[in-house]
Amino acid sequence: MQKKILKNLSIGVVSTIILGSITISLSNCSYNKKTFSSSTITNQDTKNLDIIAKNIKFKYDIFENEDEQIIKINKIKVVGDLGQAKIIIKKVIIEQKSNNFFVQYQLSLHNQTKEYTQNLEINKKQSVIETKYINDELINNDYRPFALKQLLSSPQNIKKTSDLSLITMQKNNQEFNNYFNFIQNEDNFKQLPFNQATLLTKQNQLTDHHTNFKFEKIEIDKQNQIATVSFSHDSDSQTIQKILNATNKRLLIKNFDWTNPFSKIISYEKINNNQLRFSLKDFPKSLTKFIITHIQYDDVVESLGRDLKNLFLYNQIEEELTLKKLNFYLQENEVYGSAFFDFNEQTLKLYKNKIFLFEFTLDENYSEAKKNQSLIAKYTPPIQYVRVPFKSLWKFKIPHLYNGYLYKLNRISVRDNNSLTPFAFVKVKELNTSTFFVKNIIYNDRKIIDLYYNNNQFFSTKYQTLKNKNLTLNDLYKLWASNQNNLYLDYSLRNFISLVQYENTYLFYQNKTNEGFYDFITKKADFILVNNNEIKNLHKTTLKDNPDLIFKKDKDNYFQLTKKINKIKNLNLVNEKNLVFNITFGLDPNLIKETNLWKNLMLRSQISLAVPYKTLKNKKVIEDAEFVLNYGIGNQEYEYELYKKIKQDFRFQISYINDELKIKIISKNNISVFDNIWEHNSSIDSSYFLTKANFNIYYLNNTTIDIMEDDKSNNQYTTRIYKNNEQNFLPIKNARDRVISLSLIQDGTWNVLGKVKPNDDDDYRYYLISCAHVLNSTQAFKSINKTGNKDLFESSNSSNGDFDPLVPQIIHENETLNDKKNPYYNALEKNGKLEANQNQFQFLNFPEKISIESIINFDHQVKNKLSPHVNALGFFNPNASLDFSLITINLKPFFQKYGQLENSPAFNDLTKEQQSVIRHIINFKDLKPLKLSNQTKYFDDNQNVKWYLSTFPRTETINEFNAGKLPRYREYEINKYDKIQENIITTNNYLSTVGTTKISNQYFDVGSGSSGSVVYDENGDLVGMISFGAHENAKFTAGGMIVFDSLISGFFGDKNNFANRTSLIQQIKQLAYLYPEKYEDIYK
């Protein structure tokens, strides 16, 4: 086994150039160090080259055997400042007698060259047996140094075919006729409509009824036939005896996975005074996780609640499947797999509704694809997952493959349909045939009409131009590689656009070098446009990153971007023919590296659309716009094939109507485009991942013009919202309508997610969301349980608590200016309660207790062994955690007392301020379920935003308007933030593994009590939540916000992502399936 050691012979790297592979010379004779010089070099050039040579050092990687006696030098790199000189390694010489290692290289400056030799010292006890190095790509007219050059030139272990029909595949695989015959019989796949079994009647469907007993554990006997249920020690003994001694004894048992529904009513019997049992006969073998949802004893039916101790695993799989045959095919530029297993009559039925998850990995020993070296390993997922339905095992597509790389089958697992819950594994080691393949596809080219071809042949006479007004981007690449300076180009629209494309490509290449895609930066070529014998200076402006640069689907289901050009200031100061819009975005058919934050996403693909303003105004619509593809991984050949593939799959329509520029991505071959990583990476067909766009404006002018977007947003971090300016911040209404604090004494901030049963007028429960640490610290909950139990709601049983709600109160700005230091809260005590000032918030001391139930605590979800948190791709992440919780609050007593407002006698007896509290809470019934903002996918550093916050801080902050250690209500528009990070420890050591950002309390009054305050976007959708703050001298100095879901974390979820089965949305759907009398699916 070899291990890698980096031998570094230089300090202070200025620039690094990977050099490349030519013949290695081994010499058995002594080698004397020599210097080779050219007689044509001038003395000054010789001195310059000698100075450069003195500053050049070499570094190389060593792979050592365990005995450390023999080494292999793997990559020789040049370290040093070459300036304008170029370098070529001529020869590597290993002197075996003395074990010296020499590098012979050539330096070139201007038109002069000189050769040098440098000795690399190595351990004399070791013997060098092999060296590798890679040639300078730029010397070979390759316009940039791609890191992955070694691609197989032809497919391996793939059969090229034009016929993959079912008839042909069955004919060629007759030993598996039982499988083919089974899948062709539609009767085997008929599914009857799911009829939900129930023990409930109209009389016992009481949503506010709670049991006084619990199950402690459920055990399966050794024969796998009987389940025994034990009651917990704190259950009511009289109720237990009623259950055990009843005449009519039944249980309702369901499959835990709502996407694969099953329910069964079964009888139970008493074992002893604390246990019951039931038979597992006739339970479906294709399901493994069940939950007891309801129990009936005589005429009593009770819902047991979503206590995970009611859950049990029942596995009836008797033997593992074995993979018997695996083939790979190439048909119409798509790679297909074909897999056959040792199915028998029983297992065909068992697995017929399952998903087979194939896991392919890149061979780490091929093409230097080692985890610590290869870009493809660093910036792409390590595993290629392919989801294959049972009926498609005979032929399934393998999408998102890199051309020219070796893939190996790692393993196969069997998953439940939709949810991807693990079900079984498949033996693959016994397979005799190859389990690897390599694809290499050459695509046909599709021509795009050149709208900018120039017939004018009048050239500059003042400057020595290239005398060509139809230079393409490839022409500029070649000139770039020629290392010439001050290249004059005659102005034409074609040359102007090609120059813009070159500028953009170089910037992409430079940025990717900084990200680690390449190992050196090539000097930029100086192209200068000349028009009418005058030099035209090229300038560039990049517009701010705004939400209007996010693609959205139109009515035809195509992704479209709309940009209002009339909002861009000072465009009229530039001649229209000298303006080009350059819109760039990512469109990538390969797998995307999974990460939470956009700023950490290593984007490899860039589509560049350069559009002349004047042409766009005249034509109105360009149906098939030309584009440039820049791709960060691969080589020029790979990028070119990918460019041709994109031309086959899409056309880019650009229109300009009523001062709106629209870009529409139109797919031509039913190719799917996704802006979610989970959708793209898990797609069973070919698809592309789409990013947000960047908008650049290139223009020709003698001087720089201040072109910018007419952005009316405040450049301050926050803007406080008052009664006198609230009309300028209309989105704050959604935040204000949803916010509440449950206790005057101690609490965080809660927000209404939605009504639990929107279609039931007799149900008054509402979902509230806040931080997980608020769940166990609020005074309302502490009043429920005086024992100090920190895990008060872990059993998911409801409890009754005090309800002293605080609701918003908005004041005029001039009310804060009279005396900023005095709090607008009256701290007088009356009857043991603090009395609120009407200027600060509205408050009501409700005389009755209310029922509160914990539904989800994402701080604990990852620790749940039976239902651990999975991300958006359906995979378990042991480190996933979020300071976030969901509860229900039953406001039935409140609505019964005040629900008729003026028609309620109790309402009319209240003060105006108390009536405001009631109106606020009664309006909860009109709120729609809260949705996740589309912006959460694109969090980056230094962003300008328009977010809205309603909050109830209760502690002293450094903000000038803070009210000390007393409650108050605040509203803000958040205008910008600086930095976003991952894995931040929030309040009370709660870990949040999503993105987090913080803003100084100089800009907003946020402190303890603000925890749980939701941050909304302009559409009223959820962005994040205030979760933590920085402290100094007992004052809050900053407010911190966690953001939801980002790219793959999957805490809030998506209603269409069933694999993200532990997300808030999917768990609400599960509740509606398990307990339909108590919950509705509010995210249909």
Are 838 and 884 members of one domain? yes
Top pLDDT among 829 and 458 is at 458
Most confident range, picked from 633-637, 695-699, 862-866? 695-699
Of 409, 438, 467, the residue at which a domain comes to its end is 438
pLDDT bin (cut points 50, 70, 90) of residue 118 is: confident
Q: Does the structure show a pLDDT above 90 at 759?
A: yes
DSSP annotation string for 1020-1061: S-EEEEEEEEEEETTEEEEEEEEE--TTT--SS--TT-TT-T
493 DSSP assignment: H
Residue 263's CATH number? 2.60.40
357 neighbors 387 (Cβ within 8 angstroms): yes
Asked if 552 and 423 sit in the same domain, the reply is: no
- CB distance 96 to 121 below 8 Å: no
| pLDDT of 619 higher than 80 | yes
Evaluate whether residue 848 is within a structural domain: yes
Neighbouring C-beta atoms of residue 49, cutoff 10 Å: 23
**Confidence at 407, pLDDT banded by 50, 70, 90:** confident
Pick the most confident of 208-212, 499-503, 867-871: 499-503
d(CA 909, CA 434): 83
* Better-scored residue on pLDDT, 603 or 502: 502
Cα gap 885→579, rounded to integer Å: 52
849 and 933 share one domain: yes
- Between 6-10, 436-440, 715-719, the lowest mean confidence (pLDDT) is in 6-10
Band (220; pLDDT cuts 50, 70, 90): very high
Which domain does 292 fall in, by range? 215-313
SS3 29: coil
Are 950 and 958 within 8 A, CB to CB? no
> Do you know the residue count of the chain?
1084
Report the alpha-carbon distance of residue 310 to residue 229 in Å, rounded.
9
Say yes or no to pLDDT of 15 above 50.
Answer: no
Q: Is the pLDDT of residue 112 over 70?
A: yes
Query: Distance between CA 238 and CA 246 in Å, rounded?
Result: 12
Alpha-carbon distance 697 to 499, whole Å? 13
The pLDDT of residue 964 is: 76
Tokens encoding 134: 């890679």
Count the domains in the chain. 5
For residue 412, which of 435, 428, 434, 396 has the smallest C-alpha distance? 428
Q: Which is higher by pLDDT, 125 or 993?
A: 993
Pair 676, 872: CB distance under 8 Å: yes
With 70 as the cut, is the pLDDT of residue 992 above it?
Answer: no
User: What pLDDT does residue 261 have?
Assistant: 96
Asked if residue 775 and residue 705 are part of one domain, the reply reads no
- Do residues 386 and 337 touch, judged by C-beta distance below 8 A? yes
759 with 844, same domain: the answer is: yes
Q: Which of 58-67, 541-550, 777-786 has the highest mean pLDDT?
A: 541-550
Q: Residues 872, 1010: one domain?
A: yes
340: tokens are: 């056959």
pLDDT: which is higher, 457 or 620: 620
Residue 630 pLDDT greater than 70, yes or no: yes
Is 833 or 733 the better-scoring residue by pLDDT? 733
Mean pLDDT of all residues in 195-219: 81
The pLDDT score that the predictor gives to residue 217 is 95
1052-1064 residue pLDDT tens: 999 999 998 989 9
Band of pLDDT at residue 379, cut at 50, 70 and 90: confident
Rounded average pLDDT over 533-561: 91
Where is the domain boundary, 438, 455, 479?
Answer: 438
Is there a domain that residue 210 lies in? no
**521 pLDDT higher than 90:** no
The DSSP code for 63 is: E
Is residue 91 predicted with pLDDT exceeding 70?
Answer: no
Residues 843 and 809: their CA atoms lie apart, in Å, by 10
Q: Which pLDDT score, from 0 to 100, does residue 129 have?
A: 43
Give the pLDDT band of residue 96 (cuts 50, 70, 90). Answer: low
What average pLDDT is seen over the chain? 81
Do 309 and 228 belong to one domain?
yes
**Residue 12 in 3-state DSSP?**
coil
Mean per-residue pLDDT, 109-125: 71
Indicate the range of 93-107, 136-150, 741-755, 837-851 predicted with least confidence. Answer: 136-150
Closest CA to 1010 of 790, 777, 813, 770: 770
Q: What is the pLDDT of residue 361?
A: 84
Q: Is residue 390 part of a domain?
A: yes
In a domain, 473, yes or no: no
Cβ atoms of 784 and 792 within 8 Å: the answer is yes
Q: Would you say residue 667 has pLDDT above 60?
A: yes
Instruction: Look at residue 362 and tell me if it is in a domain.
Output: yes
Nearest to 334 by CA among 412, 403, 433: 403
Which helix H or strand E contains 782, and what residues bound it? helix 779-782
The answer, yes or no, to whether residue 1 has pLDDT greater than 70, is: no
Instruction: Report in angstroms the alpha-carbon separations of 798 from 209, 519, 791, 1058.
Output: 9, 60, 13, 28
Encoded tokens for 446: 């599709």
Of 709, 743, 769, which residue constitutes the final position of a domain? 709
Same domain, 169 and 106: no
- Which among 152, 645, 586, 157 is positioned nearest to 369, based on CA atoms? 152
Indicate if 684 and 763 belong to the same structural domain.
Answer: no
Range with lowest mean pLDDT among 213-217, 721-725, 795-799, 1036-1040: 795-799
pLDDT at 90: 67
Q: Residue 100: its pLDDT value, please?
A: 66
Read off the DSSP letter of residue 594.
P
Q: SS3 string of 246-309?
A: CCCEEEEEEECCCCCCCEEEEECEEEECCEEEEECCCCCCCCCEEEEEEEEECCEEEECCCCHH
Rounded to an integer, the average pLDDT of 224-252 is 96
Question: What's the CA gap between 200 and 208, in Å, rounded?
Answer: 15
- Contact at 8 Å (CB) between 812 and 724? yes
| Residue 472 falls inside a structural domain | no
Name the band, by pLDDT with cuts 50, 70 and 90, for residue 487.
confident
Spatial CA neighbour of 609 closest among 621, 624, 595:
624
CB atoms closer than 10 angstroms to residue 450:
12
179, 241: one domain: no
Closest CA to 856 of 890, 879, 883: 883
Please say if the pLDDT value at position 734 is more than 50.
Answer: yes
Average pLDDT rounded to a whole number, residues 507-521 = 74
What is residue 74's predicted lDDT score, i.e. its pLDDT? 46
Q: Is residue 522 part of a domain?
A: no
Q: At which residue do the structure tokens 């909050």 appear? A: 951
Among 853, 630, 497, which residue's Cα sits nearest to residue 143?
630
Q: How far is CA 1038 from the centre of its chain?
A: 27
Q: What is the DSSP string of 626-662?
A: --EEEESSS-HHHHHHHHHHHHHHEEEEEEEETTEEE
Does residue 192 form part of some domain?
A: no
What pLDDT does residue 991 have?
A: 65
Helix or strand or coil: residue 817? Answer: helix
Whether the per-residue pLDDT at 72 is higher than 60: the answer is no
Distance separating alpha carbons of residues 757 and 767, to the nearest angstrom: 10
Nearest to 565 by CA among 543, 586, 584, 585: 543
According to the model, what pLDDT value does residue 82 have? 66
Same domain, 746 and 872: yes
Whole-number pLDDT of residue 766: 97
Lowest mean pLDDT among 39-53, 562-576, 579-593, 830-844: 830-844
Answer for the pair 376, 402: CB distance below 8 angstroms, yes or no: yes
Give the Cα-Cα-Cα angle 912, 914, 915 (nearest 5 degrees).
65
Amino acid at position 743, single letter = S
Are 294 and 251 spatial neighbours (Cβ–Cβ below 8 Å)?
yes
E strand or H helix at 618: helix 613-619
Lowest mean pLDDT among 519-528, 607-616, 640-649: 519-528
How far apart, in whole angstroms, are the C-alpha atoms of residue 179 and residue 391? 9
Query: Would the CA dihedral through 464, 467, 471, 474 be positive or negative?
Result: negative
Give the DSSP H or E segment for 100. Answer: strand 100-109
Q: What percent of the chain stands above pLDDT 90? A: 43
174/272 same-domain check? no
**Is-contact 672 385, C-beta < 8 A?**
no
99, pLDDT greater than 70? no
The dihedral through the CA atoms of 433, 439, 444, 446 has a sign that is: positive
274-333 pLDDT per residue, tens: 999 999 999 999 999 999 999 999 989 999 987 889 999 999 988 889 999 999 999 988
Res 119: pLDDT: 76
Task: Give the pLDDT of residue 828.
Answer: 39
- Taking 60 as the threshold, does the pLDDT of residue 897 lie above it? yes
Q: In terms of pLDDT, which residue wins out, 531 or 318?
A: 531
**Residue 972: strand pairing partners:** 720, 949
Could you give the dihedral angle defined by the CA atoms of residues 816, 819, 824 and 828, in that order, rounded to the nearest 10 degrees?
-170
**Residue at token pair 């005995």:** 67
Highest mean pLDDT among 286-300, 707-721, 817-831: 286-300
Backbone angles phi, psi at 330, to 5 degrees: -120, 120
User: Which of 1047, 1012, 1014 lies closest to 1028, judged by CA?
Assistant: 1012
Confidence band for 947, pLDDT divided at 50, 70 and 90: very high
Q: What percent of the chain has pLDDT over 70?
A: 78
Q: Which residue has the higher pLDDT, 744 or 3?
A: 744
pLDDT at 477: 85
* pLDDT bracket for residue 37 (50, 70, 90): very low
